[in-house]
Amino acid sequence: MPEPVYLNTAAAGLISPASLARSTAFAKQMLHNPSAAFAGWLAENFPVVRENTARLLGCDSSRIAFVPNFSFGFNAVLQSLAGKIHRVLLFDQDYPSVNLPVTLGGFEVSYVESSDGFSIPFSAIRSAVLQRRIDAVVLSHVQFLTGFMLDVEELGTFCRKHGVLFILDATQSMGVLDYHLDLLPVDVVISSSYKWLNGGYGSAVLYLEESFINRFPPKFAGFGSMTLTPEGWSYAPSARSFEPGHFSVEGLLRLEVAVTERLAAGQSTVMQHDLALTGRLAAGLEKTSFSIRGGVSGSRAAILSFDASEEVAKYLATKNIVVTFRRGMIRVSPHLHNQPAEIDFLIEVLEQYGK
């Protein structure tokens, strides 16, 4: 069977052969001298992945923490907010990993809705914040189902003006969009690594704005949060407070290679590549009977969904095209490994189905 046409990065991103080789080499070290393998990684590789990730995201490395996944980082942040933040605004169709921890955390939750099944109007968010006296806004930068892309600059500036905390799930955007976090008016940004960062499973990136630690001291601590000095272990609240225990070394080794490859390629170049592919797909779908959710919109990242039946999704699978079917839509999410010819092939197969 030929290699699949993999257009499903919004579900999970491909890792590179170099990432696989790096993590496999470490796993082999664990067969013989695991304590030395971990100590060597902690001293030599860990500072590198922290610095390079911060460089990729345009922020100081002291603002970066590595956590096992988005949910761990987000729930840890919510613990810091408990008792200090009360009214939280969510999007009713956001990913469950964003909404459920807030509703279970005892916060007073309000929802903003989409009138067209795609966009989240800034006017609706603004009205909800002001009318309901919202303390914190928690949203995904890019919606997992439709690809709608939030205007973070506009919303963040508004939140800062009104003293509202802004927490951003960047799982569907980090690795696609060209971030400069130190310049964005956002308090907390969290992203798993296994999608658009192409870092595989086992790690996620947590960014904390400088004043956040002072306003909301961490409730976490452990081995990774402390510094060994001649006098013994010392602890000071910082982003590292969210790194309480030992890490998934193989996960962070894969992320290290992926970040290094991304820096070499240039994040802006990758973003242009991905957006060009979704633009090509949108143009091709305009010539078919399939309706694009949100239309041909500029408020979209590298995810495009179109209305279709499950039978269409099954037909694509017979052609070895990997996409996701959800809620009456087929979601296509091309990334840096994809080429225009693969998008053209998808359009051709859809046209064949229509006939």
Say yes or no: 90 and 230 in one domain: yes
Say yes or no: 255 and 346 in one domain: no
Distance (Å, whole) CA 322 – CA 11? 10
Percent of the chain with pLDDT over 90: 86
CA atoms within 13 A on the CB side of 22: 20
Say yes or no: 211 and 244 in one domain: yes
Q: Which domain holds residue 322?
A: 5-14+266-354
Tell me the average pLDDT across 220-233: 80
Say yes or no: 158 and 43 in one domain: yes
Q: Using CA atoms of 173, 77, 91, 292 in order, give the dihedral in degrees to the nearest 10.
A: 20
How big is the chain, counted in residues?
A: 355
The number of folded domains in the chain is: 2
Say yes or no: 242 and 119 in one domain: yes
Say yes or no: 195 and 272 in one domain: no
The kind and range of the H/E element at 142 are none
- Residue matched to tokens 């658009």: 196
Instruction: Give the residue ranges of DSSP H helices in the chain.
Output: 17-29, 34-40, 46-57, 70-81, 96-104, 122-131, 152-161, 212-215, 249-265, 267-285, 310-318, 340-354
Query: 96-104 vs 70-81: helix axis angle to the nearest 10?
Result: 30
pLDDT in tens, 32-82: 999 999 999 999 999 999 999 999 999 999 999 999 999 999 999 999 999
Instruction: Work out the widest C-alpha separation in the chain, in whole angstroms.
Output: 76
pLDDT, position 2: 61
pLDDT, position 1: 41
With beta carbons less than 8 A apart as the criterion, state whether 256 and 49 touch.
yes
Say yes or no: 93 and 186 in one domain: yes
- 243, 334, 289: which is closest to 49 by C-alpha? 243
pTM for the complete prediction? 0.94
Say yes or no: 229 and 313 in one domain: no
Say yes or no: 287 and 210 in one domain: no
Say yes or no: 166 and 242 in one domain: yes
From 249, 264, 279, the end of a domain falls on 264
Coil, strand or helix at 153: helix
Q: Is the pLDDT of residue 234 over 90?
A: no
Sign of the four-CA dihedral 202, 58, 228, 42 = positive
| Confidence band, pLDDT 50/70/90 cuts, at residue 245 | confident
Q: CA 288: distance to chain centroid?
A: 31
pLDDT in tens, 159-216: 999 999 999 999 999 999 999 999 999 999 999 999 999 999 999 999 999 899 999 9
Say yes or no: 225 and 104 in one domain: yes
Distance (Å, whole) CA 85 – CA 151? 24
Residue 146's alpha-carbon distances to 52, 93, 140, 181, in angstroms, are 30, 10, 12, 24
DSSP designation for 16: P
Say yes or no: 84 and 210 in one domain: yes
